Amino acid sequence: MSSFNQAKTRRLPYISYEEQQRITRVCVRCALLFMQYGGESAVVVDLTKRLGRSLGVSGVECALSFNAITLTTLYNGRCITTVRNTIHQGINVSILVQIQQIVMHAETTTKNEQLIDEVEIQFDNINRTTYSNHLMSLFVGLSCACFAYLNGGNFIIAIITLIAGFCAMRTRLYLSTHHFNPFVVVIITAFVATVLGASAYFLDLNGLVTLGDTADIAVASSVLLLVPSFPIINALSDILKGYINMGLGRWVFATMLTLSACVGIVTALILLQIPHWGL
């Protein structure tokens, strides 16, 4: 078996040290982009291995941690290793799909000197455009309002939840754009959502509308945008597929986001003197 692998290695096209360096940089860039935009760990490792082999190296080894990637390319007994830090950029499935398409294109293209250049250009030209902040905030507010209505809230509750969800999402996007700590962003966003959602209590107390026990629904529905569903799903998937370190890191991150949301909610309720919320 070992002689077969050696013969297979000798049949690989010649790659200089400089070319292997470029391939290593391209592979780690692929892994970084996929990790930064919420990709699953198993898919990250699989894509880097496939891309490396498509570009001409005999193998790629990739080790992941929550905030770093270590990647090694192998060619004729020669190893080049690089380490990169990762920064979470938020979930963007469109970018993940584009990265997978780039790797598939490299696999179906015959190995040549221009292939590395093509892959680098494709990574440079990844479409990172997103929906406008106002449009995203509007639909987040609408989803919160629909949840409130489905859980027994009337039209007034739905309108209050819509406004609270919209303003909270705009606050979150504004703070994230200015690179605030993600936990601070969640605390402030939860505070804003709770304060605006709790306006239903004061409308009811002042006799402007009759909401009864449904005022709690507005507060609960306004903070749904802070539920870290995607990180929790990725964490469970990583743990089940053997990437324990990544899974635990993502689980702790999602837990801290949840605790931060609780801090913002409780702070707002204490300031508004609403200790009976949810009872």
pLDDT tier at 193, thresholds 50, 70, 90: very high
pLDDT digits (tens, 9 = 90+) for 11-54: 556 778 888 899 999 999 999 999 888 888 899 999 999 999 98
How does DSSP assign 198-221, residue by residue?
THHHHHHHTTSS--GGGHHHHHHH
pLDDT digits (tens, 9 = 90+) for 60-78: 999 888 888 999 999 888 8
Q: What is the pLDDT of residue 262?
A: 92
Give me the phi and psi of 79, to 5 degrees please: -120, 135
From 180, 267, 189, select the one nearest 228 (Cα to Cα).
189
Asked whether the predicted pLDDT for residue 278 surpasses 70, the reply is no
Return the sign of the alpha-carbon dihedral for residues 250, 251, 256, 258.
Answer: positive
Return the sign of the alpha-carbon dihedral for residues 9, 14, 17, 20.
Answer: negative
Who contacts 7 (Cβ-Cβ below 8 Å, separation ≥6)? none
Tokens of 143: 């989803």
Q: What is the pLDDT of residue 175?
A: 93
Q: Which ranges in the chain belong to alpha helices (H)? A: 2-10, 17-36, 41-55, 93-108, 115-124, 133-150, 155-177, 182-197, 199-205, 215-222, 229-240, 244-272
Q: What is the pLDDT of residue 88?
A: 81
Chain-centroid distance, C-alpha 31 = 14
Who contacts 161 (Cβ-Cβ below 8 Å, separation ≥6)? 141, 144, 145, 147, 148, 153, 197, 217, 218, 221, 222
Give me the phi and psi of 70, to 5 degrees please: -115, 125
**How many Å apart are CA 227 and CA 84, to the nearest integer?**
29
Q: What is the pLDDT of residue 207?
A: 56
Map tokens 């080790």 to a residue: 63
At residue 94, what is the residue type? S
Q: What is the pLDDT of residue 12?
A: 54
Give the mean pLDDT of 129-144.
Answer: 90
Give the mean pLDDT of 127-147.
Answer: 89
Q: What is the pLDDT of residue 104?
A: 92
> Mean pLDDT of all residues in the chain?
85
Portion of the chain with pLDDT greater than 90, in percent: 34
Strand 78-85: give its sheet, edge to edge. 59-65, 68-75, 78-85
The residues facing 74 across adjacent strands are: 59, 79
Asked whether the predicted pLDDT for residue 204 surpasses 70, the reply is no
Q: What is the pLDDT of residue 4?
A: 39
Asked whether the predicted pLDDT for residue 171 surpasses 90, the reply is yes
Q: Report pTM.
A: 0.80
Give the mean pLDDT of 86-104.
Answer: 87
Give the mean pLDDT of 256-264.
Answer: 93
